[in-house]
Amino acid sequence: MKYISTRGKKTNTKRFQEVLLKGLADDGGLFVPEALPQFSPEKISELQTLSYAELTYEIIHPFVGDDIPKDVLKTAINDSYAAFNHPAVAPLRQLDTNTWVLELFHGPTLAFKDFALQLLGRLLDYALEENGQRAIVLGATSGDTGAAAIEGCRHSKNLDIFILHPHNRVSDVQRRQMTTVLAQNVHNIAIEGNFDDCQELVKQSFADQSFLPEGLRLVAVNSINWTRIMAQVVYYFYAATRLGAPQKSITFSVPTGNFGDIYAGFIARGMGLPIEKLIVATNQNDILHRFFQNNDYSKKALQQTLSPSMDIMVSSNFERLLFDLHGNEGDTISKLMAQFQQNGQLHVNDKIWQQAKQLFGSYSSDNNSICETIKTLYQQTAYIADPHTATGIRACNELGNATTATVALATAHPVKFSDAITKAGLPVPALPESMSDLLTRTENYRLLGNSLHALKTDICAYIKQY
């Protein structure tokens, strides 16, 4: 398998290990496969009886090729999902005749990010060991990515990890899941700004790594890293094959801010999975919804909401979709992204926009409708959904097709978002036993201004200490 950049030449290809370790392409673009592996209906039928770990190997091995030995890849996969607390790993819960919830919060940090980051940490450690290298993980989080990345990397002997989160803009549980991990190689940094500020600092740091000592490199764990997308493709296949694919088509409703989770569904569809529709579910930070409704991908002031993991206005992975819609023309995407960087606006021609609307639906929910959905769902089914999942369920209710099974992705455990659950008038679930003392554990994090110089100085100060 070869990979190309969304902003580069088609002839400038990379292998999987290069993509794994680089994260972001040198030209500022994102890596995508040169071509997608294809799964026939007969092959998809064979996947129906596999365990989650077995299915993962079948789906991602074509993306990895011989860059990682088969036995190493299988061990990394098995170890990654052994830590989940449900035997199905990603169980389906039926809400009504034709609506299902795919529970993606049974991993060690209670969020869907565990699916990719448990595996990513292990693959990074292997690749660095093979190449005799050490690296610094640098990532930004709107809440869940940070905890999952830290959990996936904290035991690594070849990685130090720096995670940026927006100060006072993540839930208490989300913050403490990061800041109470006191491993020597873990560094939490609160940035005085929002998630987009954190994400931009990460991108700028990757663009110019000259501040690092020779022999050290930055590694991405945000969904700009293709490995994240690759691992998330699996649960679309898992849910669909359990609900009748390939004989039946499935619609998925996906809470998303950075477009990575739903882009994985787009990749699954491109591989042959019969997905009828992908529904983009957003909160009030609705840049994606505005694009699919009005061809309006433009920045607005970021709002702080009850679903903070989606408080994102610049959706990094949207560039990957644009690349596909524009026929993999890197020069075109480079110009579009430069324009967006300059004036905060992006529009595509009508033909391409109509094509996007054929593939995706979208729906936006505000805080009141999120709380209403959480409350009504509980009254009807006794099921408590976190506020992000609630946006997906509400979008299902508004846009789902009565003749097609619709799956809403449940992206986090409700215990992580007590404010929303309380405002919906429901009791907050208890923390799992393994986290029962989370709110009393010692925290350790540093507060920095929204400054690239301050961030680089902080990283270098740490490097000098060791």
Q: Which residues are catalytic?
A: 113
What CA–CA distance (Å, rounded) separates 180 from 440?
9
- How far is it, in rounded angstroms, from Cα 401 to Cα 19? 38
**How do 31-33 and 3-5 pair as beta strands?**
antiparallel
Stated length of the chain: 466
Rounded Cα gap, residues 405 and 281, in angstroms: 17
> In degrees rounded to 5, what are phi and psi of residue 175?
-65, -50
